């Protein structure tokens, strides 16, 4: 439960805000994610306040009273926002929304506490913490959000078809919260999502993509990906990805289901990187397998060229999903090269093949290897360690070749000109010999690789 005295220790300014609200005679509650995450013991730097009355004018007065940083006002949304004590404080006046079937835009009017709480997306987001004198610190649970938190369950306060019809983005939000919090979604949410998936077409692509990337950024993205797939929402928002599911069987050959394989790869890579674009690369690395799938008699299934085709179709996907174009080249590179390291694991690979790989992968070489390691999804532990050892070998080869190349470019710290001066020599074979002697002394570890050591070594050998 909520212990307000304990909370005030971590957030002492809540009392300040409560006192100010009391003076301004305004009813105010903390709502939404902050209350939810408080109960889940998750850190949060944003706090949403629900003000009964005019949220903007309250925020303006409050900010002046307590000395908040520059206030931003969004009249269209009826919200105001300012920073205070390193927290983002967001204020909204209680509202009532009525939706007209003929238009997507709700009619928004001033509302009561109950009106406002009822138009929220999930019961776990309807919990409110009172900052008012009459019930200071009380947790107000209108829709059984607390029980749902305990059961780790997402439910909508109203019938989900109604909730989703009003704002179809809430379908995405349900699956996003499920992935972020490791929660289940109610069966009613699943069937409403399936029934209303097409409605997502009226939502802006930016909002959809934003939620999709939050799923990908969560600790176990497959939770959200599988919900999207199971409800066929994926078909609407990312058909190429939805298309990865399905296995063909012919003769004795079947191939791994690419959708479930990819889910595993994304889950595998997630503990190793917070870079959502590396996770995105994992998500799309096999995206062109369906188009390149061929059955070869007595050999089985092949997917020749899926890495090149995958890289080629990435631009279209970026355009449609409105992904940031400055990440396109990175994703294309990882998709295109994701099979290369395994080809380099063979014993007889030449230095120049390794060198070409180093140049092509460039600064993304480590990310590529991270992807390749995550791509191992065999259940056979022996195979897994064998494959991992292969990648270790490739990385050792990379280091070896890099080292050799560094040595090839290696030069004595004391240059020819200086040797000629100090030893009183004309340009001649001798100068080269002395220089090589210094270089060998360094390579053999006789002297350290510094100018001073090379110089004193030169004095020592110059008369020999
Ligand atoms: P997070 O900040 O981690 O994304 P949050 O729950 O704070 O989670 P916000 O998007 O900041 O989510 O929204 C704050 C609150 O506003 C939510 O908890 C929810 O009650 C409500 N809300 C936000 N978006 C919607 C929506 N599309 N439909 C209904 N209610 C919403
Ligand atoms: Mg929030």
Q: How confident is the model at residue 332 (pLDDT cuts 50, 70, 90)?
A: very high
Q: Which atom from ligand 1 is nearest to the alpha carbon of 119?
A: 29
pLDDT tens per residue, range 281-319: 999 999 999 999 888 888 888 899 999 999 999 999 999
Residue ID of nearest Cα to ligand 1 atom 9: 33
Beta strands in 267-382 (DSSP E): 294-296, 300-302
Averaged pLDDT of the chain: 91
Boundaries of every domain in the chain: 4-150, 152-237, 272-405, 416-461
Q: How confident is the model at residue 101 (pLDDT cuts 50, 70, 90)?
A: low
Q: How confident is the model at residue 378 (pLDDT cuts 50, 70, 90)?
A: confident
What are the structure tokens assigned to 76, written together? 């269209």
Report whether pLDDT(267) > 90: yes
Considering every ligand atom, which ligand is closest to the CA of 106?
1
For residues 283 and 263, give the distance between their C-alpha atoms in angstroms, rounded to a whole number.
Answer: 7
Q: Is 46 in the pocket of ligand 1 (CB under 6 A)?
A: yes
The SS3 assignment for 127 reads coil
Residues 6+ apart with CB under 8 A from 457: 438, 441, 446, 447
User: 275 CA to middle of ligand 2, Å?
Assistant: 22
Q: Which of 121, 119, 117, 162 has its CA nearest to residue 141?
A: 117
Torsion of the alpha carbons at 395, 400, 401 and 402, rounded to the nearest 10: 90
Q: Which residue has the tokens 């000629």?
A: 420
The pLDDT of residue 103: 61
For residues 350 and 354, give the distance between their C-alpha atoms in angstroms, rounded to a whole number.
Answer: 7
- DSSP state for residue 379 in the 8-state scheme: S
Q: Is 169 in the pocket of ligand 1 (CB under 6 A)?
A: yes
Report whether pLDDT(102) > 70: no
- DSSP state for residue 424 in the 8-state scheme: T
The pLDDT of residue 2: 78
Transcribe 29-65 into DSSP letters: EEETHHHHHHHTT---SEEEEEEES-HHHHHHHHHHH
Q: Which atom from ligand 1 is nearest to the alpha carbon of 46?
A: 2
Q: Is 121 in the pocket of ligand 1 (CB under 6 A)?
A: yes
The pLDDT of residue 182: 97
Q: Are strands 128-130 and 139-140 parallel, antiparallel or unpaired?
A: antiparallel
User: 132 CA to middle of ligand 1, Å?
Assistant: 22
Residue ID of nearest Cα to ligand 1 atom 8: 33
Q: Which atom from ligand 1 is nearest to the alpha carbon of 166?
A: 28
- Which residues are bridge partners to 52 per DSSP? 27
The pLDDT of residue 9: 86
Report whether pLDDT(264) > 80: yes
Q: Is 125 in the pocket of ligand 1 (CB under 6 A)?
A: yes
The pLDDT of residue 414: 85
Q: Which residue has the higher pLDDT, 345 or 82?
A: 82
Give the range among 11-15, 45-49, 330-334, 403-407 with minimum mean pLDDT: 403-407
Report whether pLDDT(190) > 80: yes
CATH number of the 4-150 domain: 3.30.460.10
Q: Is 157 in the pocket of ligand 1 (CB under 6 A)?
A: no
- Say how many residues make up the chain: 464
pLDDT tens per residue, range 386-419: 999 999 989 988 888 888 777 777 778 888 888 9
Q: Is 116 in the pocket of ligand 1 (CB under 6 A)?
A: no
Residue ID of nearest Cα to ligand 1 atom 2: 33
What is the 3-state composition of the chain as percent helix, strand, coil, each rounded to the nearest 5?
Answer: 60, 10, 30
Beta carbons of 145 and 125 less than 8 angstroms apart: yes
What are the structure tokens assigned to 228, written together? 């999207």
Q: Is 48 in the pocket of ligand 1 (CB under 6 A)?
A: yes
Q: How confident is the model at residue 355 (pLDDT cuts 50, 70, 90)?
A: confident
Q: How confident is the model at residue 229 (pLDDT cuts 50, 70, 90)?
A: very high
The pLDDT of residue 106: 75
The SS3 assignment for 301 reads strand
Beta carbons of 10 and 103 less than 8 angstroms apart: no
Residue ID of nearest Cα to ligand 1 atom 15: 32
For a mutational test of ligand 1's pocket, the pick from 29, 38, 42, 48, i.e. the residue with the most ligand atoms closer than 8 A to its C-beta, is: 48
- Which residues are bridge partners to 140 per DSSP? 128
User: 277 CA to middle of ligand 2, Å?
Assistant: 23
User: 33 CA to middle of ligand 1, Å?
Assistant: 7
Q: Which residue has the higher pLDDT, 378 or 31?
A: 31
What percent of the chain shows pLDDT beyond 90?
65
Q: Which residue has the higher pLDDT, 32 or 448?
A: 32
Nearest 5 degrees, angle CA 368-CA 369-CA 375?
90
Give the range among 234-243, 380-389, 434-443 with minimum mean pLDDT: 434-443
User: 37 CA to middle of ligand 2, Å?
Assistant: 10
Residue ID of nearest Cα to ligand 1 atom 17: 32
pLDDT tens per residue, range 148-181: 999 999 999 999 999 999 899 999 999 999 999 9
Mean pLDDT of 311-340: 97
pTM, full prediction? 0.86
Q: How confident is the model at residue 109 (pLDDT cuts 50, 70, 90)?
A: confident
Nearest 5 degrees, angle CA 238-CA 244-CA 248?
155
Give the range among 73-87, 375-389, 394-408 with minimum mean pLDDT: 394-408
Mean pLDDT of 453-458: 92
CATH number of the 152-237 domain: 1.10.110.30
What are the structure tokens assigned to 257, written together? 């289901």
Residues 6+ apart with CB under 8 A from 60: 71, 73, 80
Q: Which residues place a Cβ less than 5 A from the ion ligand 2?
A: 33, 46
Cα 84 from chain centroid (whole Å)? 28
Mean pLDDT of 330-344: 94
- Which residues are bridge partners to 51 per DSSP? 28, 93
Mean pLDDT of 335-363: 88
The pLDDT of residue 113: 95
Q: Which of 129, 135, 211 has its CA nearest to residue 169?
A: 211
Q: Is 92 in the pocket of ligand 1 (CB under 6 A)?
A: no
For a mutational test of ligand 1's pocket, the pick from 29, 31, 33, i.e. the residue with the most ligand atoms closer than 8 A to its C-beta, is: 33
Mean pLDDT of 4-16: 87
The pLDDT of residue 412: 81
Considering every ligand atom, which ligand is closest to the CA of 117?
1
């Amino acid at each position: 439960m909520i212990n307000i005295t304990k909370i005030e220790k971590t957030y002492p300014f809540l009392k300040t805000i409560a006192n100010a609200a009391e003076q301004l005679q305004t009813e105010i509650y903390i709502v939404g994610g902050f209350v939810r995450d408080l109960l889940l013991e998750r850190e949060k730097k944003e706090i949403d306040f629900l003000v009964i009355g005019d949220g903007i004018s309250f925020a303006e007065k409050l900010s002046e009273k307590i000395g908040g940083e520059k206030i931003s006002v969004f009249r269209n949304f009826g919200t105001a926002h300012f920073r205070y004590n390193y927290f983002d404080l967001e204020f909204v006046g209680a509202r009532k929304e009525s939706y007209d079937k003929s238009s997507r835009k709700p009619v928004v009017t001033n509302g009561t506490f109950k009106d406002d709480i009822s138009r929220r997306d999930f019961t776990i987001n309807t919990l409110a913490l009172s900052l008012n004198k009459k019930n200071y610190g009380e947790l107000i649970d209108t829709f059984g959000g607390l029980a749902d938190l305990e059961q780790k369950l997402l439910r909508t306060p109203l019938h989900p078809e109604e909730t989703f019809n009003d704002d179809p983005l809430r379908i995405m939000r349900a699956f996003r919260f499920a992935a972020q919090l490791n929660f289940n979604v109610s069966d009613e949410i699943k069937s409403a999502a399936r029934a209303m998936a097409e409605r997502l077409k009226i939502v802006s692509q930016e909002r959809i993509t934003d939620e999709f990337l939050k799923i990908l950024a969560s600790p176990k993205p497959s939770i959200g990906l599988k919900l999207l797939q199971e409800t066929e929402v994926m078909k609407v928002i990312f058909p190429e990805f939805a298309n990865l599911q399905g296995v063909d069987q012919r003769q004795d050959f079947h191939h791994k289901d690419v959708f479930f394989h990819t889910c595993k790869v994304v889950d595998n890579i997630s503990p190793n990187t917070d870079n959502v674009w590396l996770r995105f690369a994992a998500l799309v690395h096999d995206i062109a397998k369906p188009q390149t799938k061929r059955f070869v008699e007595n050999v089985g299934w092949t997917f020749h060229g899926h890495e090149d085709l995958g890289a080629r179709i990435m631009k279209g996907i970026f355009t449609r999903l409105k992904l940031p174009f400055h990440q396109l080249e990175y994703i294309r590179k990882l998709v295109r090269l994701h099979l290369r390291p395994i080809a380099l694991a063979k014993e007889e690979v030449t230095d120049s093949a390794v060198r070409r790989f180093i140049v092509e992968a460039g600064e993304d070489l480590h990310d590529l290897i991270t992807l390749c390691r995550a791509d191992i999804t065999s259940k056979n532990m022996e195979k897994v360690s064998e494959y991992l050892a292969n990648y270790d070998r490739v990385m050792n080869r990379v280091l070896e070749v890099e080292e050799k190349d560094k040595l090839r470019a290696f030069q004595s710290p004391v240059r020819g000109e200086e040797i000629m001066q100090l030893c009183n020599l004309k340009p001649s074979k001798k100068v080269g010999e002395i220089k090589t002697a210094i270089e060998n002394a360094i390579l053999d570890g006789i002297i350290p690789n510094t100018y001073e050591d090379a110089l004193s070594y030169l004095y020592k050998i110059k008369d020999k």
